[in-house]
Chain A
């Protein structure tokens, strides 16, 4: 197939390859901190639950399965969303603002790249997929950490915390919807922030921090709206 455009240059690769690259650097790059965050959060929640159970004389083993439900419906999406708003939002906002300020976006469009398809779309897709991934891993990390902590401190059993007995289809729908919308909003917030504050080193820093703030607000708003819609 000589004579066809060379598959050599990065930009000739379909947007899919760039998506994979972004997913690798942002999605997987965020995984350690997000997993850690959710594991920590699981322990914190278990501690709170144990404190309250003591107070109200509840059996923590009965709370265990409820914990998984809460995690899937509420805590995992919001924690994953917030951590990614910081990690992915700041990275994408700063990167795009830098690409704009250093005229890389101009160079790309001058040489025939379609910015929307080759720069923005891969980041958007990577944001969605990365957030879903972080959410799933986060649920596992949080429930294992909470159950493990309960087992260790003798307040409950690990098996009760990792039991998906009470998780129903509606919970899962809420889980995917929240994560999907968060994942789409975070890159979009970063794009807007970068466009707004493009120039100069300070502009790049401002773009990064604006992306984080807008991202966190998006996550909160989606959480409330979807929570109301699925109530």
Chain B
């Protein structure tokens, strides 16, 4: 009896652990192979993917970043008004946008839109036997298909976050003007006084890591899903959920390292 209970307990702990280790190993392998493919990347495929992913999400990122900028002002504005330190608003809003809110939200919507779509695409390629067909023809599918997608996604998250930073700060300045009556120039000065390029750089450093996490989660989800119609939906879902888990974990690690 106790033996059986022990075995059951071992299984309950061991199975998820093995699954997790396996996923981590597969991720590392994919990352490694993509990294070695970086030197001989198909430039045109990469540019195509960057343009497509970027264009797909540019509008969405603009809306999200504008909302985020306004949100930061609304959230900090309450306290700033209570404490009567309007002069700190530019610093507070800028700090929060650049270091935390923008990288996080851009990554989140990007994972939802592009990450999920890319995972579904890879799963559909497998369901349609196109990936196995490529391998059978001796084409390295990592180099031809996966690596351009991976680096394209990672790069576009970074670029979109930089773009989002600008939009968010502009939106924050406008919201501060409209809601709290703080002149735009005043907001700008408060920001300049206490924030530097370092704050933007730290935010972008995060978003580079988030981008890689989104790309790896998406490709991994696409490759791991069952190769049939249901698997495509599953891949999209898994890509989003895993990407968000990684984003949050990385956020803690990177903020801790600041």
A and B touch in their complex, CB below 8 angstroms: yes
B247 to chain A, nearest CB (A): 9
Are A40 and B116 also in contact (CB < 8 A) when A86-B108, A231-B77 are? Answer: no
B115 to chain A, nearest CB (A): 8
* A208 B79 Cβ-Cβ under 8 A: no
Near B by CB (< 8 A), chain A positions 157-216 give 200-202, 204-206, 208-209, 212-213, 216
- Find B248's partner among A37, A48, A70 (CB 8 Å cutoff): A37
A231 to chain B, nearest CB (A): 6
B180 to chain A, nearest CB (A): 10
> Which B-chain residue is minimally distant from A44 (CB atoms)?
B255
Q: Report A-chain residues with C-beta under 8 Å of the C-beta of B240.
A: 86-87, 90, 208-209, 212
Which of B28-36, B152-160, B184-192, B226-234 lies at the binding interface? B226-234
* B64 A47 Cβ-Cβ under 8 A: no
- Whole-angstrom CA separation of A114 from B248 in the bound complex: 40
> Which B-chain residue is minimally distant from A47 (CB atoms)?
B255
- Whole-angstrom CA separation of A83 from B39 in the bound complex: 36
Residue A217 at the chain B interface, CB threshold 8 Å: yes
Q: Report A-chain residues with C-beta under 8 Å of the C-beta of B64.
A: 216-217, 220
Residue A18 at the chain B interface, CB threshold 8 Å: no
- Find B229's partner among A41, A52, A201 (CB 8 Å cutoff): A201
Are A202 and B244 also in contact (CB < 8 A) when A94-B236, A216-B109 are? Answer: no
* A228 B179 Cβ-Cβ under 8 A: yes
- Find A220's partner among B67, B111, B251, B258 (CB 8 Å cutoff): B67
Give 1 or 0 for each of B192-235: 1 = CB within 8 Å of chain A CB. 00000000000000000000000000000000000001111111
Residue A144 at the chain B interface, CB threshold 8 Å: no
Are A208 and B116 also in contact (CB < 8 A) when A66-B79, A224-B74, A227-B75 are? Answer: yes
* A94 B99 Cβ-Cβ under 8 A: no
Q: Report B-chain residues with C-beta under 8 Å of the C-beta of A204.
A: 229, 232-233, 236
Q: Report A-chain residues with C-beta under 8 Å of the C-beta of B105.
A: 82, 216, 220
- Whole-angstrom CA separation of A168 from B200 in the bound complex: 35
* A216 B244 Cβ-Cβ under 8 A: no
> Which B-chain residue is minimally distant from A75 (CB atoms)?
B75
* A37 B244 Cβ-Cβ under 8 A: yes
Are A86 and B232 also in contact (CB < 8 A) when A40-B249, A224-B74 are? Answer: no
Give 1 or 0 for each of A55-96: 1 = CB within 8 Å of chain B CB. 000000000001000100110001000110111011100100
- Whole-angstrom CA separation of A223 from B77 in the bound complex: 13
- Whole-angstrom CA separation of A31 from B115 in the bound complex: 23
B20 to chain A, nearest CB (A): 13
- Whole-angstrom CA separation of A206 from B245 in the bound complex: 21
- Whole-angstrom CA separation of A213 from B237 in the bound complex: 13
* A90 B63 Cβ-Cβ under 8 A: no
- Find A205's partner among B70, B235, B245 (CB 8 Å cutoff): B235
The interface size of chain A toward B, counting residues with CB under 8 Å, comes to: 46
* A48 B100 Cβ-Cβ under 8 A: yes
* A224 B244 Cβ-Cβ under 8 A: no
Residue B166 at the chain A interface, CB threshold 8 Å: no
* B249 A202 Cβ-Cβ under 8 A: no
Are A205 and B117 also in contact (CB < 8 A) when A94-B233, A212-B240 are? Answer: yes
- Whole-angstrom CA separation of A168 from B123 in the bound complex: 50
* B70 A86 Cβ-Cβ under 8 A: no
Are A33 and B241 also in contact (CB < 8 A) when A202-B124, A205-B232 are? Answer: yes
* B248 A36 Cβ-Cβ under 8 A: yes
- Whole-angstrom CA separation of A183 from B95 in the bound complex: 29
Residue B170 at the chain A interface, CB threshold 8 Å: no
B221 to chain A, nearest CB (A): 11
* A205 B236 Cβ-Cβ under 8 A: yes
- Whole-angstrom CA separation of A51 from B91 in the bound complex: 14
Near A by CB (< 8 A), chain B positions 76-118 give 77-79, 81, 95, 99-100, 105, 108-109, 111-113, 115-117
Could you list 10 A-B pairs, sorted by A, with CB under 8 Å? A36-B245, A40-B248, A82-B108, A86-B240, A201-B123, A205-B233, A208-B116, A208-B233, A227-B74, A228-B179
Given contacts A205-B236, A209-B120, A220-B105, 11 further A-B contacts (CB under 8 A): A47-B255, A48-B95, A90-B240, A201-B127, A204-B236, A209-B115, A216-B105, A216-B112, A223-B74, A224-B71, A231-B74
